[in-house]
Homo-oligomer: A and B are copies of this chain.
Amino acid sequence: MNYPNGIKKNIINNTINYKNRGMTLEEDLNITNNYYLENNIAYIYKKPTPIKVVKAIFENNNRVIKEAYYSEPSTTDYNGIYKGNYIDYEAKETKNKTSFPLSNIHHHQIKHINNIYNEKGICFLIIRFTTLDKTFLLPAKDFLNFINLEKRKSIPLDYIEKYGYLIKNNYIKRVDYLEIVDKVWRL
């Protein structure tokens, strides 16, 4: 069986996505962001995964890491620049059908989203419900409101449908979230 890139990682994370033509949200976003870059629309890129190196040695003049761990992310996955504005988002998939589990977002990431929001950056979550094949943009403001007001461990789909925006599937741009950014942030 031939797995496209990224699928394997998702199996490890317990979030398998066979829908949406076998593409993970990450792959769709890579295609979308490449499209934005090539067409001079925006420059938005994925940050490196934070890794804590415990042991590194020299081997044939190369530094080889022999022991390291994935650290808890302290920022979001993606950021960049759109029409001169700072833009920043976290992208998550869930197999759940009725809610988005908040265990997907770490404490430091919430702080990061809050910092961006305070400094007036464009910030949001992209949440894909893989089983429903629906992808939403939820603005930071509405995400932070939920976190601050509710003590629940997941955001109900109802809330996301009410305050978020469904991102249209698009063959070329895949997940054209900037169309929604234009509307919400009036750019």
Distance of A44 from chain B, by nearest CB (Å): 9
Indicate how many identical chains form the complex. Answer: 2
Q: Which of A60-68, A154-162, A171-179 contacts B (4 or more CB under 8 A)?
A: A60-68
Complex: chain B residue closest to A80, CB-CB: B86
Cβ–Cβ contact A64 & B75, under 8 A:
no
A36 vs chain B, min Cβ distance (A)? 10
Interchain CB contact under 8 A, A65 and B68: yes
Contact residues in B for A88 (Cβ distance below 8 Å): 81
A contacts with B, residue count (CB < 8 A): 39
Per a CB cutoff under 8 Å, which of B62, B75, B85 touches A86? B85
Q: Which of B48, B64, B68, B121 contacts A50 (CB 8 A)?
A: B48
**Any B CB within 8 A of the CB of A42:** yes
Q: How far is the CB of A28 from chain B (nearest CB, A)?
A: 20
> Is A37 an interface residue when CB atoms closer than 8 A count as contact?
yes
**Which B residues are CB-close (under 8 A) to A86?**
80-81, 84-87
